Amino acid sequence: MLICLLDRESFLDWLGGKPSPKPVRLTANKMRQNIENNIALIYDDPKFPTSNQPIISIPQDKISDFYAFVGTYVKGFTPFSAFFKVVPFELLPELLNAPPYQQGMSLQFECLIGVAIAEVYTQSRARLKAIEKISVSAVQATLSASLIEAVWQGYTSERISDISDRWQTARELEDSSNLFLNPQKITEIWEIISEVITEKNARKPRGSRKKIVQALKHALLTNASSQEYLSSFMKEFPNLAKNVAGLSRSREERVRIVRNVLPELFDSSSDLLTREFLAGTIISMIGNGSFAQLSLLDDVLPKLPAAALWFGVVSSLQNGNDALTVGNCLGRRVVRDMCSNTNIFVPIREDIAIEELKMFRSESKSAHLFRTVQTTSMTVNLLGNVSGRFKTGGAVNNELAQGKRDTTSPDNQEKIQEVIYLLDRARRAVEKLSRNRQRDLFDEK
């Protein structure tokens, strides 16, 4: 790594335009010994630079203090994280050494964006009957859209849990509306996906979670048919075992079998995770991976709310699925932006980082206004290259951007009275002209 270590005074000089000392190559261990009271500038490979601007790295436990420091002494960059990428030192090895997802499996990884589409459908409580009505921004605003970026970059299930916590914190700061599907359930699904495709997870799945991981991993490695997802669950669900062979017959027969099997999943004493997984799996078999079948989950969601996300997972893994092309290429349009953000040195696309956002929101809201690209949403860096999109609350200066004004202040009340007076004068002038015109017509007669 090409690194330049600066104390706070030298860092402020560098921000002010003074050249920094020449970067040197340091190992991670050498950097760890010297970073405790310093700020590190990490430079891209000079032979193949993505950007000439370095990333800033400091220990995780000092990031909040760092943002308080730059918020006090640096006035030309607000918010600071909109202009400089700040990365925890502990995350550097994962970001700099691990390439984007490469496992050599048959999985078309981009197709997992179908899970985010299914999340939009679920959170709407099936009110969105057609995928064509789902917007790109709605998919980008899902927790799944953030966690697919984390899985893409090879993060472990433990790291995915951390990113989910950060996503929930940002959402609580900016959007007070309730979600139909609990974020913990969404996180669990993505932790399982990570455990399926990432070998370096320290956490070992247990119980029903282990069975789901084994089933999905077997399907991926062997190109198994969808029915093989179910083989390890037959003992618990005898009605499913009796009917599973029919899931390879005509579509009409598959619909009949699914309707016959679902009541067993609703009423079973088995754990909810298993029942939601099985419901999503068997419904995905009706359309052989087609997301046009999402509406078949309408009656399932009240009892098995995460079934639609499992439908998205299993459909995305089937050959010939339409996760990228359904809804006028909705999935492919969302994935396009994700693919452009896998290198830590790419230019910043977020409006603010989560740690700096928390600092802003802990202060007086009216005293800390900052620019966002969109007037009704903001993009927040959650960790590394993983971001989330959120609807903005009243704390961001969006009301002014949209032309809204405080009508209660004395100055505005006086202006309103002046407008009313001018409108009244105009009304009286029009009435006078109208009366004169009528008199002229009478005199002509």
Nearest Cα to Cα of residue 389 among 167, 188, 107: 167
pLDDT in the model for residue 399: 35
| Cα separation, 141 vs 174, whole angstroms | 12
pLDDT in the model for residue 212: 92
Query: Sign of the CA dihedral 366, 372, 376, 379?
Result: negative
Q: What is the pLDDT along the chain (445 residues), one digit of tens a residue?
A: 789 999 999 999 999 999 888 888 877 777 777 787 889 999 887 765 666 789 999 999 999 999 999 999 998 999 999 999 999 998 888 787 655 454 433 346 789 999 999 999 999 876 776 888 899 999 999 999 999 999 888 888 889 999 999 999 999 988 878 899 999 999 999 999 988 887 665 567 778 898 999 888 877 766 666 566 677 888 889 888 888 888 888 888 888 989 999 999 998 888 999 999 999 999 998 988 899 889 899 989 999 999 999 999 999 888 889 999 999 999 999 998 886 666 788 889 899 999 999 998 887 554 457 888 888 899 999 999 899 999 886 444 433 334 444 444 445 555 666 676 677 777 777 776 766 655 554 454 4
Cβ count within 10 A of residue 69: 16
User: 76-100 burial by CB neighbour count: b if 16+ within 10 A, else e?
Assistant: eebbbbbebbbbbbebbebbbeeee
Q: Are 154 and 200 in contact (CB under 8 A)?
A: yes
Q: Are 152 and 338 in contact (CB under 8 A)?
A: yes
If you write DSSP's letter for every residue of 149-218 in order, what string do you get? HHHHTT--HHHHHHHHHHHHHHHHHH-----SS-HHHHHHHHHHHHHHH-TT--SPP-HHHHHHHHHHHH
pLDDT in the model for residue 370: 86
Query: Sign of the CA dihedral 348, 350, 351, 356?
Result: negative
pLDDT in the model for residue 196: 87
| Cα separation, 249 vs 247, whole angstroms | 6
pLDDT in the model for residue 381: 96
pLDDT in the model for residue 445: 46
| Cα separation, 10 vs 20, whole angstroms | 8
Q: Which residues sit opposite 391 in a β-bridge?
A: 377
The pTM is what? 0.82
pLDDT in the model for residue 429: 75
pLDDT in the model for residue 190: 95
Q: Are 323 and 119 in contact (CB under 8 A)?
A: no
pLDDT in the model for residue 106: 38
pLDDT in the model for residue 244: 82
